[in-house]
Amino acid sequence: MSNMVQFEHQSVMPKEVAELLVTNRQGVYVDATLGAAGHALRLLETYPEIRLIGIDQDAQALAQARQNLASHHNRTTLVKGNFRYMTELLASIGVRQVDGVLFDLGVSSPQLDQRERGFSYQQEDAPLDMRMDADNPITAFRLVNQKSEREIADAIRQWGEERWASRIAQFIVRSRQIEPIRTSGQLVDIIRAAIPASARRSGGHPARRTFQALRIWVNDELGSLSDGLDQAWRVLGPNCRIAAIAFHSLEDRIVKTRFRDWQHENQARLITKHPLTASTDELKENPRSRSAKLRVVEKLPG
């Protein structure tokens, strides 16, 4: 694979996002998860008069996005930070109200593909890092080597929805007593040994759920999402929308519940009664879109 290919990220449901997010063709929009700027570019190209504020907590992603958005630099402002502090980040550039916010959750393909980031269970000798934000002091190495067996088991069960969580935690603690667990390859071997062979035959890669749990833990992804949605709601103008793409049930549950709560409080109407999923054509081209669910909500005036 060339470097160029490794840095590509295929955006999920770009057409649907562009159609459903924008209600004001001269408005200001926030892409809270800018990544490689695929969605951002689509929005800027579809609506030549909008302004776009791109947020990402990953400095490398922002640098890549800056290049990809170079031809629209006069209509874009990029900000490094966690979207859970969105009101503060926007205030720092003098923005108090916006016309729409997009969340395309999780990690990007470039993050997964870069071995040294340690996100992937397929990269054998990668360091156990998994931070989206290099300034975050918590790494997967720290959690795996320092947290109690109980905390590790709870995290793997809760955020990985892994039925063998207790055994995996037990094997991790036993193994780190001999030597620290430094690489993704070591961790994959430990997980393999912990899951009985009969159970390993189904459910995809045995380490998938544990890696998901660790990634969520390192980046406090669910706490950030919860805060981020509330912050987006605060800065959102009347008749404006939030669009959120979730990639697993834990994320989607948070989005769904928050949108429903606002609806029940008569503050919002749901634009998507049921989540949208990728078309068959998109599924063929982009396997990452398989688990994606897009929900859109609109803030009512008043």
Ligand X SMILES: C[S@@+](CC[C@H](N)C(=O)[O-])C[C@H]1O[C@@H](n2cnc3c(N)ncnc32)[C@H](O)[C@@H]1O
Interaction of residue 259 with ligand X, rule CB under 6 A = no
> Which of 36-44, 91-99, 155-163, 209-217 is the region at the interface with ligand X (rule: CB under 6 A)?
36-44
CB 134, min distance to ligand X, A: 11
Interaction of residue 231 with ligand X, rule CB under 6 A = no
CA-CA-CA-CA dihedral for 143, 147, 150, 153, to nearest 10:
10
Q: What sections of 22-148 are H helices per DSSP?
A: 38-46, 59-68, 86-91, 109-113, 140-146
Residue placing its CB nearer to ligand X in the complex, 134 or 199: 134
CB 107, min distance to ligand X, A: 6
Distance of CA 139 to the CA centre of its chain: 17
Within 127-156, which residues bind ligand X (CB under 6 A)?
132
CB 200, min distance to ligand X, A: 29
How far apart CA 87 and CA 97 sit, in angstroms, is 9
CB 271, min distance to ligand X, A: 19
Binding track over 211-230 against ligand X, x by CB under 6 A: -------------x---x--
How far apart CA 34 and CA 56 sit, in angstroms, is 6
Residue placing its CB nearer to ligand X in the complex, 169 or 225: 225
How far apart CA 67 and CA 248 sit, in angstroms, is 30
CB 69, min distance to ligand X, A: 11
The amino acid at 259: F
Interaction of residue 298 with ligand X, rule CB under 6 A = no
Interaction of residue 104 with ligand X, rule CB under 6 A = yes
What is the total count of residues that contact ligand X (CB under 6 A)? 23
In terms of Cβ atoms closer than 10 Å to its own Cβ (0-12, 13-18, 19+), residue 94 is exposed
User: Do strands 268-270 and 236-246 pair parallel, antiparallel, or not at all (unpaired)?
Assistant: unpaired
Residue whose pair of structure tokens reads 């890092």 in the numeric block = 129
Helix (H), strand (E) at residue 98: strand 98-104
CB 102, min distance to ligand X, A: 7
Residue placing its CB nearer to ligand X in the complex, 36 or 187: 36
DSSP codes of every residue in 106-126: S--HHHHH-GGG---TT-TT-
Q: Is 287 helix (H, G, I), strand (E, B) or coil?
A: helix
Interaction of residue 37 with ligand X, rule CB under 6 A = yes
Interaction of residue 232 with ligand X, rule CB under 6 A = no
The amino acid at 62: L
Residue placing its CB nearer to ligand X in the complex, 37 or 140: 37
Distance of CA 41 to the CA centre of its chain: 18
Within 54-93, which residues bind ligand X (CB under 6 A)?
55-58, 61, 82-84
How far apart CA 151 and CA 182 sit, in angstroms, is 19
Q: Of these, 20, 36, 172, 244, which contacts ligand X (CB under 6 A)?
A: 36
Residue placing its CB nearer to ligand X in the complex, 263 or 272: 272
Within 172-201, which residues bind ligand X (CB under 6 A)?
none
Interaction of residue 106 with ligand X, rule CB under 6 A = yes
On whether the CB atoms of residues 97 and 237 are closer than 8 A, the answer is: yes
Binding site residues, ligand X, CB under 6 A: 9, 11, 33, 35-39, 55-58, 61, 82-84, 104, 106-108, 132, 224, 228
